[in-house]
Amino acid sequence: MPTIGELLDVLEEIAPAHLAMADDPIGLQIGRKSDKFSPCVVTLDITPEVLNWAKEKGAEAVVAHHPLFFNPPRDLAGDSLQVQCVRLAMANSIAIIAAHTNWDAAPGGVNDTLARMLGLADIEAFGGDITVQDCKMVTFLPADGLDSVVDALAGAGAGDIGLYKRCAFHSEGLGTFEPQEGANPIVGEVGSRETTPERRVEMRFSSHRRKAVEAALLSAHPYDQPAYDIWDVSTEAHSLPRIGSMSPTTFSEFVGHVDRSLGSSSRGFGHAGKKVRRIAVVGGSGGRYWLSAKLAGADALVTGEVRHHEAVEAAETGICLVDSGHYHTEQPGMAEMRDRLESQMPTANFLLFEPLPGHCGRP
pLDDT in tens, 296-353: 999 999 999 999 999 999 999 999 999 999 999 999 999 999 999 999 999 999 999 9
Q: What's the mean pLDDT in 209-217? A: 93
Instruction: Check whether 169 has a pLDDT greater than 90.
Output: yes
**Most distant CA pair in the chain: distance in Å?**
85
pLDDT for the residue numbered 163:
74
Instruction: Check whether 104 has a pLDDT greater than 90.
Output: yes
More confidently predicted of 22 and 218: 218
Q: What is the DSSP letter of 324?
A: -
Q: Convert 135-188 into a string of H (helix), E (strand) and C (coil).
A: EEEEEEECHHHHHHHHHHHHHCCCCCECCECCCCEEEEEEEEECCCCCCCCCCC
Give the C-alpha distances (Å, rounded to integers) separating 51 from 5, 7, 41, 42, 152.
Answer: 20, 19, 9, 11, 38
CA-wise closest residue to 240 among 99, 325, 128: 128
Instruction: Check whether 36 has a pLDDT greater than 90.
Output: yes
pLDDT band at 79 (very low <50, low <70, confident <90, very high): confident
pLDDT for the residue numbered 87:
95
Q: What's the mean pLDDT in 269-273? A: 96
Instruction: Check whether 234 has a pLDDT greater than 90.
Output: no
pLDDT band at 206 (very low <50, low <70, confident <90, very high): confident
Instruction: Check whether 254 has a pLDDT greater than 80.
Output: yes
Q: Residues 189-216, buried b or exposed e (16+ Cβ, 10 A)?
A: eeeeeeeeebbebbbbbbebbbeebbeb
* Dist. CA 282–CA 243, nearest whole Å: 9
pLDDT for the residue numbered 74:
79
Task: Report CA dihedral (208, 212, 215, 216) to the nearest 10 degrees.
Answer: -130
Mean pLDDT of the chain: 94
Q: What's the mean pLDDT in 23-41? A: 94
Contact indicator for 160, 135 with CB cutoff of 8 Å: no
Q: What domains, with CATH codes, occur in the chain?
A: 4-106+329-352 (3.40.1390.30), 119-128+240-324 (3.40.1390.30), 130-238 (3.30.70.120)
Q: What's the mean pLDDT in 81-85? A: 92
pLDDT for the residue numbered 166:
95
pLDDT band at 76 (very low <50, low <70, confident <90, very high): confident
Instruction: Check whether 207 has a pLDDT greater than 90.
Output: no
Residue 317 φ/ψ region, left for φ over 0, alpha for ψ in the -120 to 50 degree band, beta for the rest: alpha
Name, in order, each residue with C-beta under 8 angstroms of 71's C-beta and a sequence gap of 6 or more: none
Angle, helices 251-262 vs 326-344, to 10°: value is 40
Q: What strand order describes the sheet that includes 121-125?
A: 121-125, 242-250, 275-282, 300-303, 320-323, 267-269
Q: What's the mean pLDDT in 244-265? A: 98
pLDDT band at 77 (very low <50, low <70, confident <90, very high): confident
pLDDT for the residue numbered 161:
82
Please give the model's pTM, rounded to 2 decimal places.
0.79
Q: Name residue 301's beta-bridge partners.
A: 280, 321
pLDDT band at 361 (very low <50, low <70, confident <90, very high): confident
